[in-house]
Amino acid sequence: MPYITAKDGTKIHYTDWGTGPVVVLSHGWPLSSEAWAVELMLLADKGYRAIAHDRRGHGKSDWTWDGNDMDTYASDLNDLIEALDLHDITLVGHSTGGGEVVRYAAQHGVGRVKKIFTAGAVPPIMLKSDSNPDGTPIEALDAIREGVATDRSQYFQDLAVPFFGANLEGAKVSQGSKDDFWRQGMRMSIKGAYDCIKAFSETDFTEDLKALDVPIFIAQGDADQIVPIKAAALKSIELVKHGTLKVYPGAPHGIAGDYQKELDQDILAFLAD
């Protein structure tokens, strides 16, 4: 299995398929690079070099005690991109991964990043506050922490339902998709899972979004029950210089089913533009 070693010695696992223009994909919480399996195969088949890594604490990467924060995640991504000497990159990030690629692009990726595509991404900031009334209350985030700390196996089974919108009328999410969410979640460390909640919810990406000077496609479903669209995509599009917003009617947070098919076609179109 391919790994790179980050600055602090952490081993970061990645998948690298295909040849051609480079696309780097960053996954959501509590998943791994396997969440991008369909896209990795699709992109490689369409003539792209598709790369996806496991964030530290997730999947096959090292389960570190320290460094489970957004600055370190972005630094790890920078170490991967420098180790592979990648240029003219299109970044694709889902949920927490959307925050990771935005921070990387703003703080490390100038001169390397060509385009950015986010889906259900956490920027500009997820936590509810007086200045962000549409965000997620701290009590809801504390409940996630409690679920992870006490019985994460059952919690991930329960969370898969709103993640994929399986509780919505007419939902067609498969049991397999929900089972795979649980499987990937159980392959990350409990410490990484716990710490990452603060990283994805309390990191403020406002200045990162303002600093971006490359095209960014901001995608989100209007039935997202995990990241509130009013605090995310609808605010992010107002902060970037070269943004395109697409709202997917009835689409959930998790990428699956008809939403995945439409999103993948939009990724391909964005790459070809």
- Which pLDDT tens digit goes with each residue over 37-83? 999 999 999 999 999 999 999 999 999 999 999 999 999 999 999 99
Domain carrying residue 151? 3-272
Query: Distance of CA 206 to CAs 8, 78, 240, 273, Å?
Result: 27, 20, 9, 26
What gap in Å lies between CA 90 and CA 69, rounded to an integer? 23
Catalytic positions, written as ranges: 95, 224, 253
Report helix, strand or coil for 216. Answer: strand
Distance set, CA 175 to CA 74, 76, 158, 256 (Å)? 33, 33, 12, 11
Give me the mean pLDDT over the 152-158 stretch. 98
Residue 53: its pLDDT value, please? Answer: 98
Average pLDDT estimate for 175-194: 98
Residue 1: its pLDDT value, please?
66
Amino acid (1-letter code) at residue 235: K
Q: What is the pLDDT of residue 194?
A: 98
What's the mean pLDDT in 213-238?
98
Looking at residue 248, which CATH number applies to its domain? 3.40.50.1820
Domains contained in the chain, number: 1
Q: How confident is the model at residue 143 (pLDDT cuts 50, 70, 90)?
A: very high
Per DSSP bridges, beta strands 22-26 and 89-94 are parallel
- How large is the average pLDDT for residues 126-145? 97
> How many angstroms separate the Cα of 3 from the Cα of each of 81, 94, 102, 259?
12, 22, 23, 31
Residue 17 has pLDDT above 90, yes or no: yes
Work out the number of other CB atoms within 10 angstroms of the CB of residue 87. Answer: 11
**Mean pLDDT, the chain, whole residue set:** 97
pTM above 0.95, yes or no: yes
Helix-then-strand count for the chain, H and E:
9, 8
**DSSP H helical segments within 108-174, as ranges?**
138-163
pLDDT of 18 > 80? The answer is yes
Give the strand order in the sheet containing 11-17.
3-5, 11-17, 49-53, 22-26, 89-94, 113-119, 216-221, 243-248
The pLDDT assigned to 250 comes to 96
pLDDT of residue 227: 98
